[in-house]
Amino acid sequence: MSILDVLDTDDFEQLTLVRDPESGIRSAVAVHDTTMGPSLGGVRMRAYPTHDDAVRDALALARAMTVKSALAGLDLGGGKSVIDAEPTASNKARFLPVHARHIASLGGRYVPGADMGTDASDMEVLAKHVPVVSSRRAPSPFTARGVFRAVGATLEWAGERDLAGRRVAVQGLGKVGRALVTLLRRAGASVVVADVDDARVREARDTAGAVPVGADEILTADVDVLCPCAAGGVLTADVLAGLRARAVVSGANNPLATPGQAALLRERGVVYVPDFVANAGGVIACEAEVHGSDDGVDTKIEAIGVTAVEILDAAAARGTDTLTVAEEIARERLAARAAARPAFPAVP
Q: What residues are annotated to the active site?
A: 80
Shortest CB 282 distance to ligand NAI, Å: 3
CA angle at 292 for the pair 289 and 296, rounded to the nearest 5°: 80
Shortest CB 135 distance to ligand NAI, Å: 9
25 or 311: CB nearest ligand NAI: 311
Q: Which residue's C-beta sits nearest to ligand NAI?
A: 174
Cα dihedral 47, 51, 56, 59 in deg (nearest 10): 80
CA angle at 275 for the pair 270 and 276, rounded to the nearest 5°: 140
Is 173 annotated for ligand binding?
yes
Is 177 annotated for ligand binding?
yes
Shortest CB 176 distance to ligand NAI, Å: 4
Collect all residues with Cβ–Cβ distance below 8 Å to 133 and sequence separation of at least 6: 111, 112, 113, 123, 126, 127
22 or 206: CB nearest ligand NAI: 206
Is 108 annotated for ligand binding?
no
Shortest CB 143 distance to ligand NAI, Å: 4
Contact by Cβ (8 Å): 193, 173: yes
87 or 106: CB nearest ligand NAI: 87
DSSP string, 289-314: HHHT--TTHHHHHHHHHHHHHHHHHH
78 or 102: CB nearest ligand NAI: 78
Is 175 annotated for ligand binding?
yes
102 or 145: CB nearest ligand NAI: 145
Classify 78 in phi/psi space as left (phi over 0), alpha (psi -120 to 50) or beta: beta
Shortest CB 263 distance to ligand NAI, Å: 22
Q: Which of 231, 173, 175 is nearest to 202 (CA)?
A: 173
Residues that bind ligand NAI (CB under 6 A): 139-140, 143, 171-177, 194-197, 200, 215, 229-232, 251-253, 279, 282
Whole-number Å distance between alpha carbons of 157 and 155? 5
Contact by Cβ (8 Å): 117, 84: no
**Which residues fall in the annotated binding site?**
172-177
**Which residues fall in the annotated binding site for NAD(+)?**
172-177
